[in-house]
Amino acid sequence: MAGRVLVVGSYNQDLVWEVDALPAPGETRAGLAFRSGPGGKGFNQAVAAARAGAATTFIGALGDDTLAEGARALARAEGIDARFETIAGIATGTAGILVDAQGCNSIVVALGANARLTVAHVDAQAEAFSNAAVVLAPLESPLEAVRAAMRLGRAAGARTILNPAPMHADLDAAALADVDLLTPNETEMAELLARFGAGHVEAKTLRDRTDAELAALCARLPVRTVVITLGDAGAVLAPGARPGDDAPVTIARVPAAVVRAIDTTGAGDAFNGALAAAWAACPDADPATLLPFAIRFAGLSTERPGAAAAMPTRAELETRFAS
């Protein structure tokens, strides 16, 4: 399997405006700066995995337009083996992003061709799945295509990671059947708990709960392992409700890295891509031991503007956090 990461997901062209504060509903604010660059949760995660040191394959969909040409060139520049499906008559995905002076963001996504990625195209890449150590997917692609990716990854003996972002209305236990590791943030975790019968939990309270309390909540979800990402409060890993054949899952809490954040856009994608790369390098490792690497990688990504372009390299990470 040679440590390869395979990502199935979205490519968006990001349009980013810097503002002093995020506008309230109905308010118009003057932008301080504008930039455009590559994004999309799937492509961000693929770039993160590649820069974190993993051989990386990306499966996604593009329109038949000039943005698609740029996407293919960017994948080549990153050394990513891109397997794009071209959707005629549909635009390549785009995202409008507002970033305030504290690095917080507000995002609107027009998925375009991403929403048309077909199961047939995913299935046609069976050879790529057979060479993957880890298969990773967010939810900016059709759920059936994501389920196909998890199924093919599991059948090939790869580790499977689902990043449930953005949350999908039809995500259920059947859609999680082939998922080894689920990586929700606080908001997504609260939605998952409500969906799987754990009742109402305020997302903002999760970071203040004890490890035991969080582990009890993770145990309500029908997957092998759950990692809750908590922003500047780090991340917590705990076993889910589905047993596995490996050693028991270790409960772990890892603090956030100490960084000078200017833009949190793509930080969650940085975490997922780096985690996938670390797991691909050590497929038999306890995922808890991989969290510090992913946390630091994600933290360092916030020190630069942008999404895919902000991902650090493994060498930069090792230099910054050398002990």
Does residue 182 surpass a pLDDT of 70? yes
Residue 245 pLDDT level (bands cut at 50, 70, 90): low
What pLDDT score does 263 carry?
84
72-86, 230-244, 307-321: range with highest mean pLDDT: 72-86
Which residues have C-beta within 8 Å of that of residue 174, sequence separation ≥ 6? none
Does residue 228 surpass a pLDDT of 90? yes
Q: How far, in Å, CA of 274 to CA of 25, rounded?
A: 35
Q: What is the mean pLDDT of the chain?
A: 94
Residue 250 pLDDT level (bands cut at 50, 70, 90): confident
| The two three-digit tokens of residue 30, written as one number | 């003057």
Cα atoms found within 13 Å of the Cα of residue 46, Cβ hemisphere only: 30
Report the share of the chain in percent with pLDDT over 70. 98
For the beta sheet containing 181-182, the strands, ordered from the edge strand earlier in sequence to the opposite edge, are 81-87, 56-63, 5-8, 134-137, 159-162, 181-182, 225-229, 235-239, 252-254
Give pLDDT tens digits for 263-320: 888 999 999 999 999 999 999 999 999 999 999 999 999 999 888 999 999 999 999 9
Does residue 1 surpass a pLDDT of 70? no
Find tokens 């493994």 and name the residue.
314
What pLDDT score does 242 carry?
85
What pLDDT score does 80 carry?
98
Q: How far, in Å, CA of 231 to CA of 204, rounded?
A: 11
Helices (H), the chain: 41-51, 66-77, 119-123, 126-130, 143-155, 186-195, 211-218, 267-281, 291-301, 314-320
Q: Which of 172, 211, 269, 284 is catalytic?
A: 269
Residue 123: active-site member: no
Give pLDDT tens digits for 96-122: 989 898 888 888 889 999 999 999 999
Give pLDDT tens digits for 43-73: 999 999 999 999 999 999 999 999 999 999 9
User: Where do the domains of the chain lie, and which CATH numbers do they carry?
Assistant: 5-9+40-90+118-308 (3.40.1190.20)
Give pLDDT tens digits for 210-222: 999 999 999 999 9
Segment 140-167 mean pLDDT: 97
Is this prediction's pTM over 0.75? yes
Segment 128-135 mean pLDDT: 97
